[in-house]
Amino acid sequence: MKICPVCQKEVTGRRDKIYCSPACKSTQQYEQRLEEEAFYFEVDRQLKKNRRILRKYNQVGMTTLRQEVLLSEGFNPRFFTHYWKNGKGQVYFFCYEFGYLSLQEQGKEKYVLVTWQAYMHPANRSKN
């Protein structure tokens, strides 16, 4: 007697049948896919959270904010989609169209929040 690995019911039918029903087979495949893609979902969730937080605090296109404000809301600076380096060599990290530059002013960690601009695009680099 075989037992379904999902619901623990008896499996009837063909000798090589593993699940008791198509629903149990689907459930198993769905859970397996979630386990395999857990890292992807975690990264995607954090990128969206970072974007939402940056958008919330950058309503005018550019602003400066204490680092602790963003971090207290769950912002994680290790997650970003791309970066841009300005002429001074400063690196801005972006979560989609909202970016940040880490600075230290008067002993305090701060972020300069910006919005992606056309001149930042790599194709426009030679024009500057």
pLDDT (tens digit per residue) in 1-52: 899 998 989 999 998 999 999 999 999 998 888 888 888 888 999 999 999 9
Torsion sign, CA atoms 58, 99, 97, 45: negative
pLDDT of residue 118: 81
Kindly report whether the global pTM for this prediction surpasses the value 0.75.
no
Compute the mean pLDDT over every residue in the chain, rounded to the nearest whole number. 90
Phi, psi for 89 (deg, rounded to 5): 85, 5
Report the amino acid identity of residue 11.
V
Cβ 102 vs Cβ 90: under 8 Å: no
Helices (H) and strands (E) in the chain, counts: 3, 7
CA 64, 67, 73: angle at the middle one, nearest 5?
110
Contacts of 119 (CB under 8 A, 6+ apart): 127, 128
pLDDT for the residue numbered 81: 95
